[in-house]
Homo-oligomer: A and B are copies of this chain.
Amino acid sequence: MTQKFSEPRTIGIVGGLGPFAGVDLVRKIIRWTKASRDQEHLPLMLYSFPGWIPDRSGFLLDRSLPNPGEAIGEIMARLAQSGAEVIGMPCNTAHSPLILGPALERLRASGPEVEFVSIIESAVAHVNKLCPQGGRIGLMGTLGTMRTRLYQDALEKAGHQPVTLDDAGCALIQQAISDQNFGVKACSDPVTPKARQLLLDAARRLIEEKQVSAVLLGCTEIPVAITEAVLWDTPVVDVTTVLAQELIRASCPERLRERLEA
């Protein structure tokens, strides 16, 4: 007997923040979809309008700059009008309530009923399964994500202990992400050895000095450089993969692979 599948809901992706993180999410949706021919893959739309969206970390650190939430909400509304029923956004910083709030308000005002799948909630649910008794969770992300305590608050609420590096360590992570000469945003394909090394050093410090139970890559540029699922015997949570899995579940749960074939 062949398995019955429900009609998939169309996935809409707010890309462009950065552009390569959008590609990485689509790629991971395809990778985690149970399908043996083209026609079995899920319907999805990627809108990548990077020029419309001001810098997210910049706004969170200086609120006099324009709020990127306006443009993000406009893109979400266009996705919904074009038929998206489930929306995801591969950018952690943009999930800050200061940015996401106005964006979702614009989306809701546009009319169609759409489910927004939060990368933060998806990641915390995943950490809950990984550490059901609560754990020390090492955080890597942009300065904007760290300073607005996006993950810290959500993890504490769920009974975990978020652990970050000192200011100098966080600044090096930001540099690995956004340095205009060697950062992942400027050079993503392939990533520069320097960016990867800075990110690996940060992960190692969290694991060896801070003794964390897991490392959460809380910026969608980081898993472009760190593709390992385990580092120094410690699980690494790639939030782009977690978001991809939750978007598949929201579109058509029967199509979610339980594991990748070897």
Contacts and interface: CB of A to CB of B under 8 A. Distances in A.
Tallying the copies of this chain within the complex gives: 2
Contacts of A52: 43
Contacts of A41: 16, 18-19, 48, 50-51
A137 to B, nearest CB: 27
A241 to B, nearest CB: 12
Nearest to A10: B49
A163 interface: no
A172 B46 CA distance: 33
A192 to B, nearest CB: 9
A189 interface: yes
B26 A46 contact: yes
A34 to B, nearest CB: 11
Contacts of A185: 37-38
Given A43-B51, A48-B43, A38 B19 contact: yes
A205 interface: no
Contacts of A8: 51
A27 B189 CA distance: 8
Contacts of A78: 82
Contact of A38 (B18, B30, B47): B18
Interface centre among A17, A48, A49 (most CB of B within 10 A): A48
Contact of A46 (B46, B188, B189): B46
Contacts of A38: 16-19, 50, 53, 55, 185
A209 to B, nearest CB: 32
Nearest to A22: B26
Nearest to A188: B30
A211 interface: no
Contacts of A22: 26
Nearest to A31: B189
A61 to B, nearest CB: 16
Contacts of A114: none
Contacts of A31: 189
A133 interface: no
Given A23-B27, A38-B55, A41-B51, 14 more contacts: A18-B41, A19-B41, A20-B27, A26-B46, A30-B188, A37-B55, A37-B186, A38-B53, A39-B50, A39-B51, A41-B50, A42-B51, A44-B46, A78-B82
